[in-house]
Amino acid sequence: MVARPIKQEALMEIRKILAPTDLSKLSLAGVRYALELARDSGAEVIVYHVVSYDEITRTQRGSDEETTDFASRSPQQLLERHHQALKSFLEESCSDLLPLIAAREKVELGKPDKNIIEEAAKEAADLIVISTHGRTGLSHMLLGSVTEKVVREAICPVLSIRPELFKEKKVPTAS
């Protein structure tokens, strides 16, 4: 087997990484991987959370108490609540990495796959790092896969992380 060295100029320079999260434990693997990659490459990370219209609809159809709670909140209050949840998510799970990199959080209301694709373009992201939730069968057919849609439609490379395989290993980098 003959291996040719990779020319440095052929490698993509990663300056900005978009790390979408739904604030679940499964999405943490993608966020941590993005932060570790940024630590090793000097890239900026945008940790991005989309408050889904579906989530709002489920809340509206919930109990009377939930409906009243939802009705009393403005969209801005809802976004602020989710922004605080994102900050807590990062502080609890990534406090070891955050001081070492340039990272910022962003929360928006919308459709997760569409918003992620648009945000990557708007921010001129060089890479999207996103966890896959591993849905299969009927659940996957009914709900679809945000990750799958992002992989198909994003204008930049997408790195899909399977949470069950991520064990906080050293992120591979080209040298």
> Domain residue spans in the chain?
14-165
Enter the tokens of residue 1.
């087997």
pLDDT at 77 over 50: yes
* Residues 6+ positions from 173 with CB-CB distance below 8 Å: 37, 40, 41
| pLDDT over 50 at 52, yes or no | yes
Mean pLDDT of all residues in 143-171: 80
**29 has pLDDT over 80:** yes
131 forms bridges with which residues in the sheet? 161
What CA–CA distance (Å, rounded) separates 7 from 9?
Answer: 5
The pLDDT of residue 145: 85
Query: Which residues, 6 or more positions from 118, have their beta carbon under 8 angstroms from its beta carbon?
Result: none
Q: pLDDT confidence of 73, banded at 50, 70, 90?
A: low
Residue reference for tokens 């989710």: 82
Domain 14-165 in CATH 3.40.190.10? The answer is no
Cβ atoms of residues 13 and 126 within 8 Å: yes
pLDDT-derived band at 68, boundaries 50, 70, 90: very low
Sorting pLDDT into bands at 50, 70 and 90, what band is 159? very high
Residue 143's pLDDT is what? 46
List the alpha helices (DSSP H) in 9-160.
Answer: 25-41, 53-60, 64-71, 75-94, 112-122, 137-143, 146-153
Q: 92, 86, 11: which is closest to 45 by C-alpha?
A: 86
Averaged pLDDT for residues 34-62: 84
Q: Model confidence over 96-144: pLDDT tens digits?
A: 999 999 999 999 999 999 999 999 999 999 999 999 875 555 545 544 5
pLDDT of residue 167: 63
For the record, the structure tokens of 91 come out as 């502080």
Report in angstroms the alpha-carbon separations of 4 from 1, 7, 8, 12.
Answer: 10, 9, 12, 18
